[in-house]
Chain A
Amino acid sequence: DQQVKQNSPSLSVQEGRISILNCDYTNSMFDYFLWYKKYPAEGPTFLISISSIKDKNEDGRFTVFLNKSAKHLSLHIVPSQPGDSAVYFCAASGLGGTSYGKLTFGQGTILTVHP
């Protein structure tokens, strides 16, 4: 049972344009969401997060949007840079911002940013 889904296995964008990565979840108990970035042969690194009490969180070039009614979140990267090329994982936690690190991950989306 895949409770967090990233339906696009890959995404290709041109440098300078916007990258939009999508994530859907099914469990309404999730109330804290995170995005991780992963390069080959490395572990995931935290990118940005959002609590369910918000619908938007911004950090530099990265913005995460949350639509609770649709159980959908998205990560916007603008402008995209070649160094952003990596696998992006959406993750969710069920016990709020104070939850321990029991995260449910999506399958990942491979982002390729072309120069």
Chain B
Amino acid sequence: NAGVMQNPRHLVRRRGQEARLRCSPVKGHSHVYWYRQLPEEGLKFMVYLQKENIIDESGMPKERFSAEFPKEGPSILRIQQVVRGDSAAYFCASSVSSGEKLFFGSGTQLSVL
């Protein structure tokens, strides 16, 4: 399966802990996007990254959230000091270039106890 790989599929954290979500894009794709889906809502854009660069983080909460896409390895979405409101499905998508079709991963379901 050469699609977008996200892990873990399910992540349970207690309030105050850190959550690290990983995303490996489709081979050859250098553009990565993170979306969040809260219960009963549509997906909401969080951040757009290219290798080693954050292009657009206008959808990221100002505090506790960060994202990176290093030269080597997967993209990481990091949530520090998680709160119950962070419970959601987090989807990663990739594209071969800007403006091309997005391919989505299966998502990481984050549950904060």
Contacts and interface: CB of A to CB of B under 8 A. Distances in A.
B18 to A, nearest CB: 24
Q: How large is the interface on B (under 10, 10 to 19, 20 to 34, 35 or more residues)?
A: 20 to 34
Given A105-B43, A106-B42, A107-B41, A100 B106 contact: no
Interface residues of A, number: 23
Contact of B99 (A41, A44, A97, A104): A97
Interface stretch (B65-73, B80-88, B90-98): B90-98
Given A100-B31, A103-B45, A105-B43, A43 B56 contact: no
Given A105-B43, A107-B40, A107-B41, A43 B106 contact: yes
Given A43-B4, A97-B99, A102 B104 contact: no
A89 B101 CA distance: 15
A43 B40 contact: no
A36 B103 CA distance: 11
A43 B93 contact: yes
Nearest to A32: B99
A48 to B, nearest CB: 11
Given A4-B42, A105-B42, A105-B43, A98 B104 contact: no
B104 A45 contact: yes
Nearest to B44: A105
7 contacts: A42-B106, A43-B93, A46-B103, A89-B43, A102-B33, A102-B58, A108-B42
Interface of A: 4, 6, 36, 41-46, 89, 91, 97-108
